[in-house]
Amino acid sequence: MINFHKVLIVTAIAFCAFFSVWGWREYQRTGTTWSLASSIAFAGFAVGFAVYLRFLRRFLSK
């Protein structure tokens, strides 16, 4: 079950990273605040998921 959870987290990291890059490119193209905000937010989500994945065993052992 833990391995499946890891796969889901890695998928979430990949999605968030992709969407962050897409949002940044959209911001460069259009200059909209929404694109910048979503890019920054999804970059933060990707980092958060990566930290969660790194310390997953510690979270689950509590």
CA angle 20, 47, 10 (to 5 degrees): 85
How does pLDDT run across 1-59, given as a tens digit for each residue? 788 999 999 999 999 999 999 999 999 999 999 999 999 999 999 999 999 999 987 77
Q: Could you state, in order of their start, the residue ranges of all structural domains in the chain? A: 10-60
DSSP the chain: -HHHHHHHHHHHHHHHHHHHHHHHHHHHHH--HHHHHHHHHHHHHHHHHHHHHHTHHHHHT-
pLDDT at residue 60 tops 80: no
How does pLDDT run across 2-13, given as a tens digit for each residue? 889 999 999 999
